[in-house]
A and B are shown apart, each in its own frame.
Chain A
Amino acid sequence: MGKVVSITGNYAVAYAAKMARVQVVAAYPITPQTSIVEKLAEFIESGELDAVMIRVESEHSALAATFGAALAGARAFTATSSHGLLYMHEWVHWTSRARVPVVMAIVTRTIGTPWNIWPDHSDFMDQRDTGWILGFGMDNQEVFDLTVQAFKISEDPRVYLPVMIGLEGFILGHTTMPVELPDQKELDEWLGPRRQGYVIDGREPLAIGNLAWPEDTEEMFMDIQKAMEEAKQVIKEVDESYGKLTGRRYGGLIQCVGCSNAKYIAIAMGAWAGDLIEAVQKLRDEGYPVGVVRIRFVRPFPIEDLWKIINGVKGVIVFDRAISFGAWGQIYTDLVAGLAQYTRNLPVLSNIVAGVGGVNVTHIDFYKLVKNFVDIVEKGEQPPVFTWYHKR
Chain B
Amino acid sequence: MAQTRPKPPLPYRMRDIVLPGDAACPGCPIPMAWKVLASVFREKMILVIPACCSSVVVGAYPGNSIKASVVHVAFASAAAVASGIAEALRRRGINDVQVIAWAGDGGTADIGMASLSGAAERNHDMIYIMYDNEAYMNTGIQRSSSTPFGAWTTTTPIIGKTEHKKDVARIMIAHGVPYVATASIAYPHDFYAKLQKARRIRGFKFIHLHAPCPTGWRFDPKYTVQIAKLAVETGLWVLYEYYDGKIHLSGPSRPYMDPAKRKPVEEYLKLQGRFKKITPKKIEEIKKYVDMTWDWIKKHM
Contacts and interface: CB of A to CB of B under 8 A. Distances in A.
Contact of A212 (B61, B70, B74): B61
Interface string A143-157: 000000000000000
A68 B117 contact: no
B69 A54 contact: no
Q: Chain B interface secondary structure, helix, strand, loop or mixed?
A: mixed
A202 B46 contact: yes
A234 B260 CA distance: 74
A210 B67 contact: no
B115 to A, nearest CB: 5
Given A55-B122, A207-B70, A209-B73, A69 B115 contact: no
A187 B80 CA distance: 31
B55 interface: yes
A64 B91 CA distance: 18
Contact of A57 (B67, B72, B92, B115): B115
A201 B56 CA distance: 22
A201 B94 contact: yes
A68 B48 contact: yes
Nearest to A200: B69
Contacts of B74: 64, 90-91, 94
Contacts of A54: 83-84, 87, 122, 124
A69 B70 contact: no
A209 B77 CA distance: 14
B70 A208 contact: yes
B68 interface: yes
B269 to A, nearest CB: 35
A211 interface: yes
A23 B94 CA distance: 14
B60 interface: yes
Contact of B83 (A68, A200, A207, A216): A68
Contact of B71 (A51, A60, A71): A71
Given A65-B80, A67-B84, A202-B96, A58 B72 contact: no
A201 B97 contact: yes
Interface in A296-353: none
B110 interface: no
Contacts of B69: 200-202, 204-207
Interface string A61-79: 1101111111111101000
A213 interface: yes
A74 B92 contact: yes
A205 B19 CA distance: 13
Interface in B43-81: 43-46, 48, 55-56, 58-64, 66-74, 76-77, 79-81
A65 B119 CA distance: 10
Given A61-B114, A208-B70, A74 B61 contact: no
Contact of A202 (B44, B48, B121): B44
A107 B48 CA distance: 30
Given A67-B81, A68-B48, A207-B58, A74 B88 contact: yes
A52 B77 contact: no
B71 A209 contact: yes
A61 B76 CA distance: 8
A24 interface: yes
Contacts of B86: 68
B88 A212 contact: no
A23 B60 contact: no
Contact of A56 (B62, B80, B89, B94): B80
B96 A213 contact: no
A41 to B, nearest CB: 14
A104 interface: no
Contacts of A216: 61-62
A58 B118 contact: yes
B115 A24 contact: no
Contacts of A208: 70-72
B82 interface: yes
Given A56-B80, A65-B81, A210-B58, A202 B94 contact: yes
A201 B83 contact: no
A201 B43 CA distance: 11
B85 interface: yes
Interface in B107-131: 114-115, 117-118, 121-122, 124
Nearest to B50: A64
B122 A69 contact: no
Given A200-B46, A210-B61, A211-B61, 15 more contacts: A54-B124, A64-B74, A67-B73, A68-B48, A68-B80, A70-B84, A74-B87, A76-B84, A200-B85, A202-B44, A202-B46, A202-B69, A207-B72, A208-B72, A210-B59
* 8 residue pairs, one from A and one from B, having the closest CB atoms: A68-B84, A202-B97, A209-B72, A57-B118, A61-B80, A65-B84, A64-B77, A74-B88
20 contacts: A23-B91, A26-B80, A52-B90, A57-B117, A61-B114, A64-B73, A64-B77, A68-B48, A68-B73, A70-B88, A72-B84, A72-B88, A73-B92, A76-B84, A94-B74, A201-B92, A205-B69, A207-B64, A208-B70, A216-B62
